[in-house]
Amino acid sequence: MHASVPLPVRQIGFGDLSDAVLVREVPVEMPISVEVGGIGYAVMMATPADLEDYAVGFALSEGLVERAAEIERVDVQPLEGGIALRLWLAPEQSRRALDRARRRVGESSCGLCGLENIEEVLRPLPRITARLETDRHAVAKALAALAEHQPLGRATGAAHAAAFCSAAGDIRCVREDVGRHNALDKLLGALARGGIDAASGFILLSARCSYELVEKTVRAGCPMLVTISAPTSLAAERAAAAGLTLLALARADSALLISGEPDL
């Protein structure tokens, strides 16, 4: 299935720019249902590319499994209007997932309403134990190269990218999606499926740094997160509490060190 499609549009000129009829590539966005052991778990709006990576990364980020090897099979089933990702887990993990699915039935669409849910969202994160020998020059190198690894972003101007970079700043893997959370889940799934240790490098995101992105990075065991946009207050607090090195508003000439190693 295509990640982008052509869309006829009319360019409206301002000033000296004249009107024109154009064809623009736009990213595909469609409902992707996630089922675990035959039970519906969530429906996400995502780009239908790298879906096996997405399934694995989603399961890891949600805490349904601790290792990719605990997923026995992923079935990608096209449906009318969308796609179903059907995950089949080992028995113990399947029971855990079904318990989570039952609790989610009573949640509102935001998924954060009610005291129990707030406590769950703010539960302590594991501390980052890995240390990365890197520097600001490696970050600048990765930033400069990111655009070369964003074919969907170049074609549409409307897709987020999540990149895994070596300590030296070489980009090793990139995944794209209309949703920044989806792009990161796809990346984490690709790392897990490829046997790449997330602790061996840093993650670079073309997105605003919300707390969910910090949490996904920490749970993956990655010691450093770099984002090209600003963090939220909760993202900064959670990163500091977990010992995550967080760089935000990363540009060609500078970045803000939000938390972590002061000598970067």
Name 50's Cβ contacts closer than 8 Å, sequence gap at least 6: 175, 186, 189, 190
Q: What are phi and psi of 261, to 5 degrees?
A: -60, 115
Contact between 239 and 258 under an 8 Å Cβ cutoff? The reply is yes
- Closest C-alpha among 245, 54, 86, 94 to residue 165: 245
- Closest C-alpha among 178, 175, 180, 182 to residue 26: 178
* Active-site option among 110, 113, 165, 222: 110
- Return the SS3 of 205: strand
- Return the SS3 of 203: strand
Identify whether 173 is a catalytic site residue: no
Residue whose entry in the numeric block shows the structure tokens 């070369």: 148
**Which residues are tagged catalytic?**
110
